[in-house]
Structure 1
Amino acid sequence: MKLTTLAAALSATALTLPAVAEDMTIVSWGGAYQSSQQKAYTEPYAEMKPDFNAIWDESSGEAVAKLRAMDEAGNVTWDLVDVEGPDAVRLCDEGLAIEVDVDEVLAPGDDGSSPTDDFGPSLISECFIPQIVFSTTFGYRTDVEAWGDKKPEDLCAVFDLETFPGKRALQKSPKKNLEWALLCDGVEKDALYDVLDEDGGVERALAKLDTIKDEVVWWSAGAETPQLLADGEVVIGSTYNGRLFSVIEEQDQPVAMLWDYQVFDFDGWVIPAGLTEEREAAVKEFVKYATDTQRLADQAKYISYGPARASSQPLVGKHAELGIEMAPHMPTNPENAQRFLVNNLDWWADNQDDAEAKFQAWLAQ
Structure 2
Amino acid sequence: MKPLHLPSRRRPLVRGVALGGLMAAGLAVSAGAQALTVISFGGASGDAMQQAYYGPFAESSGVSVTPGDYNGELSRIRAMVETGNVSWDVVEVESPELVRGCFEGLFEPIDWDRLGLEGELIDSAIDECGVGVFVWSTALAYNADALESSPTSWADFWDVAQFPGTRGLRRGAKYTLEFALLADGVSADELYEVLATDEGVDRAFAKLDEIKEHIQWWEAGAQPPQWLVSGDVVMTSSYNGRIAAAQEEGNNLAIVWNESIYDLDYWAIVAGSDHLDEAYDFIAFASQADAQAAYSSRIPYGPVNPAALEQLDEEQARRMPTHDENLEGALAIDTDFWVDHGEELEQRFNAWAAR
Q: TM-score, normalised by structure 2?
A: 0.77
Shift of 1:46: 4.4
Cα separation, 2, equivalents of 1:193 and 1:317: 36
In structure 2, what is the equivalent of residue 40 of structure 1?
Answer: 52
Q: 1:207 to 1:102 in 2, by over 3 A?
A: same
Matching residue's letter, 1:25: L
User: Tell me, which stretches of 5 or more residues in structure 2 are unaligned?
Assistant: 1-29
Q: Deviations over 1:196-240 (max 9, x none)?
A: 222311111122333333433333333333233223343221122
User: Tell me, which stretches of 5 or more residues in structure 1 are unaligned?
Assistant: 1-18, 109-113, 319-324
Q: 1:142 to 1:351 in 2, by over 3 A?
A: same
In structure 2, what is the equivalent of residue 260 of structure 1?
Answer: 258
Structure 1 residue matching 2:63: 3-state secondary structure: strand
1:245 touches 1:304 (CA, 8 Å); kept in 2? yes
In structure 2, what is the equivalent of residue 187 of structure 1?
Answer: 186
Q: Deviations over 1:144-165 (max 9, x none)?
A: 46x3xx4223333212344434
Two-structure CA RMSD over aligned residues (Å): 3.3
In structure 2, what is the equivalent of residue 215 of structure 1?
Answer: 214
Shift of 1:68: 4.3
Q: 1:162 to 1:309 in 2, by over 3 A?
A: farther
Q: 1:94 to 1:102 in 2, by over 3 A?
A: same
Q: Deviations over 1:69-90 (max 9, x none)?
A: 5545657565433333333223
2:58 touches 2:65 (CA, 8 Å); kept in 1? no
Q: Deviations over 1:21-77 (max 9, x none)?
A: 54451322355434432332343344444xx21231426558745654554565756
Sequence identity percentage: 37
In structure 2, what is the equivalent of residue 16 of structure 1?
Answer: none
In structure 1, what is the equivalent of residue 19 of structure 2?
Answer: none
In structure 1, what is the equivalent of residue 122 of structure 2?
Answer: 119
Structure 2 residue matching 1:96: 3-state secondary structure: coil
Matching residue's letter, 1:28: I
Q: Mean Cα displacement is larger for which, 95-104 or 83-92?
A: 95-104
Higher relative contact order (CA 8 A, sep 6+): 2
Matching residue's letter, 1:294: D
Select the residue among 326, 330, 334 that pairs with 2:324. Answer: 334
Matching residue's letter, 1:240: Y
Cα separation, 1, equivalents of 2:141 and 2:298: 21
In structure 2, what is the equivalent of residue 27 of structure 1?
Answer: 38
Structure 2 residue matching 1:200: 3-state secondary structure: helix
2:139 touches 2:259 (CA, 8 Å); kept in 1? yes
1:229 touches 1:236 (CA, 8 Å); kept in 2? yes
Matching residue's letter, 1:331: P
Shift of 1:337: 2.4
2:63 touches 2:278 (CA, 8 Å); kept in 1? no
